[in-house]
Chains A and B, each alone.
Chain A
Amino acid sequence: MSPVSLTYWGIPGYVIFWVLFIVAMVLFLRRTYKLWRYLQLGKQWDRFDHILKRILTAFFHVFKQWCQFKTLSLKDLSGLGHVFMAWGFFIFVIYYFLFIIVGAGFGISETMKNSSFFYYYSWVMDIAAPFVILAALWGIIRRYIIKPSRLRGEQTIEALVILITVFIHPMTHLLKEATSIALGHLPAGLGSSPPIISSALSQLFSGNTLSSVQSANIGLFWAHWGIVLFVLVYIAYSRYLHIIAAPFNILLSPSRPKGALKPIDFVATEAFGITNINDFTKKQLLECYSCVVCGRCQDACPAYATGKPLNPKKVIQDIKKHLLVGPQLIGNMAEASAANPGKVLAGGVIAEDEIWACTTCGTCIESCPVCNDQIGIIVELRRKLVYEGRFDKGHERTLQRVTRDYNPWGIRWNNRAKNTGIEEAKKGEKYDCIYWIGCVASFDERVREVAQAMAKILKAAGLRFAMLGVKEKCCGDFVRRLGDEGLFQKLASENIRMLREFDFDFILTHCPHCFNTIKNEYPQFGGEFKVVHHTQLIHDLLKEGKIRLQESRQESKEKVIYHDPCYLGRYNSIYQEPRQTLKKIFDEIIEFPRNRNKSFCCGAGGGNTWKEQEAGYKMSVERLEEAMRAAPQILATACPFCFLMFQEAIQIKGNGDGINLRDIAEIVERFLY
């Protein structure tokens, strides 16, 4: 007899069961509705294109627990615990839904119970339970005893309550089943042997009297159901909320290419950027609900790691706190803003220092299990500062220089790409590729050698190529990331109009920022061009035999370490080509401990190259130290900004133990046959 069929103080168990359920449901729905109302404070949703693809992506992301596996490593197995907890949750929730809500609710539970499906399912729950218990136990030990840096300050009551419910719930299930077995109840469903673990546990009750086991069974039944209902309510009152919010958050992720920011329509909108809660999109507010304060973004953030005021986790959490207080504040936004002039988000929430410290490297987004877009928020906050005319001094001067001379250095525009020795493109001629030189190689003598090396490779391959000379303007990558969308769109449309005048198959560039912007962002303004990064081209030319490398090389014995640029790797998934090229030349390639999509930013992105230096120390120095620990002879890069940053870092570190800094094009050119 299931405990629910008994009578308690004259009330049938079924009544108590359903009353408790309804009460929990009401509490849950009320709070969820309130949270939904808060979401409505934001602007449009706007992402329901390709709805089927979105649903499937979100479904697999969640059920495959890709959210955890994408950051799982031998050094950080914490995600594995969540995998067990999540799968355990799915398994039990399906059970509750099928057999209790649907089955009992519609009175078909008897039919459902008499099935081999139910039998096998009870075995599944039985075996899943210990995994969940161990995961929860490990979670408690890790958070409250070991206290890793990522969870610094997160030893909260809320987290403890959650972990304890996860710990106790499967225990009550196992013990409840164990007492049922000890009472001689038949196994669930059509099958012969009761589930293995509960059976083993039932031995614990062999010495007890029948009535005490019956009491235990009843107690455990109601304890189990009580915890289930408590969790149901707590979902709406704690970070458990991510269970509902995160799948939708993933479903609503941008379908733009990763490296493309959202454009501003200056005709349609007067003001831009985020001033207060109403300026967020609803999806961005949903990100606050999805965030579980896991701290992976904080751990990964290069700005945070080098002592800058930025912490992406704090940005999301500050917005969430502000949102949940929001409705009361709306009437006082103006006063709150006047009282906190240094802080954006009326109400004084996020400081300007934090907003300007970001290099837009993308590690926060990459490591976030619920697919939050921290950079999207930071850029919108920057847009607001730009709208109000509030800048970091270094950034302000740089934007002026770009306005007047189309490059961030402020060197007169008629000096662009002088002395590269590369032919200038002429209208009416047909080229295989236009070599986009970019602002660094155009004006920096050392990096110009990278372009010259690449030009030699192109010649050797027999490609017909030319550069644009003074017609080329800054691609506008960092301008856009600083929040100056107006100047960016001006540069983009001028570059696009100019490019259309020439006849070529593809645009070649050695700069991942130009690569990303022209490839992924210029299409937003009608500039659809085929864009190739020089590491891709070199790889293809070698593969097709259009260029050959010398056979024997003394230098093959040298140890080379390769640094993945943020805008080539994380944003455009180009990891293999540079490595395969290097492997053709060197016997040994060393990897940074933080490599590929976990690569640590050199510190140049997002306009940070020109920021007035303030707190902390340089990211390039941090990264160089990471390289030096492996004692390589050569540090290989594929980005001119990384090149500049490492040049500076080597000077700061005093020669960096004789490490040689080389771009991949220079390395290949040296060994051209």
Chain B
Amino acid sequence: MKIVVCLKLIADPDIIEFDITTEKLGSIYLVLDPIDYYVLEEGLALRQKWGGEVIAVGVAPKEGDEILRNALLYGADRAIRLWHDELQGADTWLVSQVIKQGLEKIGVDLILCGARSKDTGSGFMVSALAHHLNIASATGIINLEVGSDKKLIAHKKLPRGQRETYSLELPAVLGIEEGINEPRYVAPFSKTYREGMRKEVEFSEASLSGLKGKQLITSLRFTQPRPRVKVGVNISALSMQEKLKLIRGELGREKELFEGSPEEAAKKVFARLREILK
């Protein structure tokens, strides 16, 4: 069975430096989307059970080589990076077509990707791939079994612990949900790692002429949360009325608008705070 696992390189949303004054992104740390650890593990686990090949695929600039190399070190049989410089900032629609291009030469039984990414989180990739490749798809998969005669039994995660079970015929693309498995750990220089060290990431340049449709979504800006003031409350000192307000989330909320230039407003804010805290 040829299993393709799609890996996405993202800017770690937890660790972004953002300058509020210039509204410019500072350092970003490119990492593997956290959900893809589960995706890769699912591919490796399936290979262990039913044999075959695990091929890691990523659409990324050369920084993406690292996550693909890690996939090899964790036991993937092949890793392929697809890219064209003009793909910078491309959306799901275009990227899914690039992946289709890359997979044409391979001949795939099963494609696994994350149900949704941690950065854009549209959850669209599964449907887009299914459309371009004209194959079956299901997303939000929390459990996977391969039945006899190449039929897939996929369990979809629904709210509040419910599950729906599907049977799919291969080839198919599945959106893998977090928690489907426990990703393994491969220690540096261990047996699997050493085997991975002997492999190379393959590169294939995408052909833009084959891509249909224009970019539908462009990112305008990224904003971080405004600083919030937290009020410390001594619960034992509250009156009954105040305690009720606290439970309803109404305690300590006062809205005041301070007008003026930044310096004037700041002075007013400080004066008011000093009053309150006296």
In the complex, the answer to whether A403 meets B15 with C-beta atoms within 8 Å is no
Q: Using A400-B183, A412-B14, A414-B14 as known contacts, say yes or no to A389 and B189 having CB atoms under 8 A apart.
A: no
A388 to B194, CA, bound (A): 11
* Residues of A contacting B184 in the complex (Cβ-Cβ under 8 angstroms): 389, 396
- CB pair B189–A272 under 8 Å, yes or no, is yes
Of A20-28, A482-490, A553-561, the one contacting chain B is A482-490
Residues 176-224 (chain B) with a chain A CB within 8 angstroms: 182-194
Residue pair A389, B14 in contact (C-beta under 8 Å): no
Taking the nearest CB of chain A, how far is it from the CB of B132, in angstroms? 32
Contact residues in A for B186 (Cβ distance below 8 Å): 389
Shortest CB–CB separation between residue B8 and chain A, in angstroms? Answer: 16
Q: Is the CB of B189 within 8 A of A266?
A: yes
CB distance B187 to A486 under 8 Å?
A: yes
- Chain A, residues 254-289, CB within 8 Å of chain B (1/0): the string is 000000000010100011100000000000000000
Partner among A393, A403, A486 whose Cβ is within 8 Å of the Cβ of B189: A486
CA–CA, A389 and B74, complex, Å: 10
Within 8 A of A (CB), among B1-53: 14-15, 31
Question: Is A413 at the interface (CB under 8 A from chain B)?
Answer: yes
Q: Which residues of B contact A96 (CB under 8 A)?
A: none
Contacts of A489 in B (CB 8 A): 188
Beyond A412-B14, A412-B15, whether A486 also contacts B193 by CB under 8 A is yes
Contact of A389 among B15, B183, B191 (CB under 8 A): B191
Q: Could you tell me the distance between the alpha carbons of A393 and B182 in the complex, rounded to whole angstroms?
A: 9
Question: Assuming A389-B184, A396-B185, is B190 touching A486 (CB within 8 A)?
Answer: yes
Minimum distance in angstroms from B49 CB to a CB of chain A: 16
CB distance from A483 to the nearest CB of B (A): 8
**Chain A 395-417 against B: per-residue CB contact (8 Å), 1 yes, 0 no?**
01101100110000000111000
Please measure, in the bound complex, the distance between the C-alpha atom of A404 and the C-alpha atom of B191, giving whole angstroms. Answer: 21
Q: Please indicate the chain B residues that have their CB under 8 angstroms from the CB of A222 in the complex.
A: none
User: Do residues B191 and A388 form an inter-chain contact, with CB atoms below 8 A?
Assistant: yes
- The reply to whether B187 and A387 contact each other, CB–CB distance below 8 Å, is yes
Q: Indicate if A391 sits at the interface (CB-CB under 8 A).
A: yes
Tell me whether A351 is interfacial, beta carbon within 8 Å. no
Given known contacts A412-B14, A412-B15, A414-B15, A387 and B185 CB-to-CB distance under 8 angstroms: no
A388 to B186, CA, bound (A): 9
- Cβ of B192: which chain A residues have Cβ within 8 Å of it? 389
The docked-state distance in angstroms from the alpha carbon of A391 to that of B184 is: 9
* Cα(A120)–Cα(B43), bound, Å: 82
Complex interface: chain B residues within 8 A of A487 (CB) = 187-188
Nearest CB on B from A409, distance (A) = 14
CB proximity of A334 to chain B, nearest CB, Å: 16
A399 engages B185 (CB within 8 Å): yes
A271, B191: Cβ atoms under 8 Å?
yes
By size class, the interface of chain A is: 20 to 34
A412-B14, A412-B15, A414-B15 are known contacts. Are A386 and B182 too (CB-CB below 8 A)? no
Q: Which residues of B contact A272 (CB under 8 A)?
A: 189
B188 engages A486 (CB within 8 Å): yes
Q: Are B191 and A484 in contact (CB under 8 A)?
A: no
A79 to B124, alpha carbons, bound, how many Å? Answer: 74
Complex Cα spacing A198 to B186, Å: 71
Write out, one digit per residue, whether chain B residues 160-189 have a CB within 8 A of any chain A CB (1) or not (0).
000000000000000000000011111111
Indicate if the CB atoms of A389 and B188 lie closer than 8 Å: no
Per-residue CB contact flags for chain B residues 113-126 toward chain A (1 = under 8 Å, else 0) read 00000000000000
B191 and A403 contact, CB distance less than 8 A: no
Cβ 8 A contact of B194, one of A270, A397, A404, A412? A270
Cα–Cα, bound, A264→B187 (Å): 13
Mask, A359-398, CB within 8 Å of B = 1, is: 0000000000000000000000000001111010100110
Q: How far is the CA of A272 from the CA of B194 in the complex (A)?
A: 12
Q: What residue in chain B is nearest A398 (Cβ atoms)?
A: B185
Q: State how many angstroms separate the Cβ of A362 from the closest Cβ of chain B.
A: 24
B234 CB to closest chain A CB, in angstroms? 19
Assess A403 versus B185: contact at CB under 8 Å? Given A270-B194, A387-B191, A389-B192.
yes
- In the complex the two chains form, is A391's CB within 8 Å of B189's CB? no
Q: Once the chains are docked, how many angstroms separate the CA of A254 from the CA of B186?
A: 30
Which residues of chain B have C-beta atoms less than 8 A from A270's C-beta? 194
Bound form: Cα–Cα A386–B190 in Å: 7
| B187: contacting residue among A389, A393, A404, CB under 8 A | A389
CA distance A264 to B189 in the complex (A): 10
Taking the nearest CB of chain A, how far is it from the CB of B192, in angstroms? 6
Min C-beta distance of B143 to chain A, whole Å: 19
List residues of chain A with CB within 8 A of the CB of B185: 389, 391, 396-397, 399-400, 403
A contact residues around B31 at 8 Å (CB): 404
A646 vs B45: C-alpha distance when bound (angstroms): 40
**A512-B219 Cα distance, complex, nearest whole Å:** 49
Chain B nearest CB, measured from A404 CB (Å) = 8
B residues within 8 A CB of A391? 185
Tell me, rounded to whole Å, the shortest Cβ–Cβ distance linking B18 to chain A.
12
Tell me which residues from 483 to 538 in chain A have a Cβ below 8 Å from any Cβ of chain B.
483-487, 489-490
Residue of B nearest to A482 (CB): B187
Contacts of A400 in B (CB 8 A): 183, 185
Q: How far is the CB of B194 from chain A (nearest CB, A)?
A: 7
Q: Say yes or no: A399-B183 contact (C-beta < 8 A), given A412-B15, A414-B14, A414-B15.
A: no
- A490 CA / B31 CA spacing, docked (Å): 18
A660 to B183, CA, bound (A): 40
Q: How far is the CB of B67 from chain A (nearest CB, A)?
A: 12
Minimum CB distance partner of B31 in chain A:
A404
CB neighbours (8 Å) of B14 from chain A are: 412, 414
Q: Which residue of A has the minimal Cβ distance to B12? A: A412
Which B-chain residue is minimally distant from A490 (CB atoms)? B188
In chain A, positions 441-486 with a C-beta closer than 8 Å to chain B are 483-486
Name the residue of chain B whose CB is nearest to the CB of A470: B15
For B37, the closest partner residue in chain A by CB is A400
Q: B188 — nearest CB in chain A belongs to which residue? A: A486
Nearest-CB distance from B42 to chain A (Å)? 16
Nearest-neighbour CB distance to chain A for B30, whole angstroms, equals 13
Residues of B within 8 A of A412 (CB): 14-15
Using CB atoms, name the residue of chain A closest to B16. Answer: A414
- Chain A: CB-nearest residue to B29: A414
Q: How many Å from the CB of A178 to the closest CB on chain B?
A: 68
Chain A, 221-232, contact with B by CB distance < 8 Å: what is the 0/1 string?
000000000000
Within 8 A of B (CB), among A119-158: none
Residues from chain B with a CB closer than 8 A to the CB of A399 are 185, 187
12 new A-B contacts, CB < 8 A, other than A393-B182, A400-B183, A413-B15, are: A271-B191, A272-B189, A387-B189, A387-B190, A387-B191, A388-B190, A389-B187, A396-B182, A397-B182, A399-B185, A412-B14, A486-B190
Give the interface of B toward A (CB within 8 A).
14-15, 31, 182-194
23 contacting pairs across A/B (C-beta < 8 A):
A266-B188, A270-B194, A271-B191, A272-B189, A387-B187, A389-B184, A389-B185, A389-B187, A391-B185, A393-B182, A396-B182, A396-B185, A400-B183, A404-B31, A412-B14, A412-B15, A484-B188, A485-B189, A486-B187, A486-B190, A486-B193, A489-B188, A490-B188
- Top 6 nearest A-B pairs (CB, nearest first) are A486-B188, A486-B189, A414-B15, A484-B187, A386-B187, A412-B14
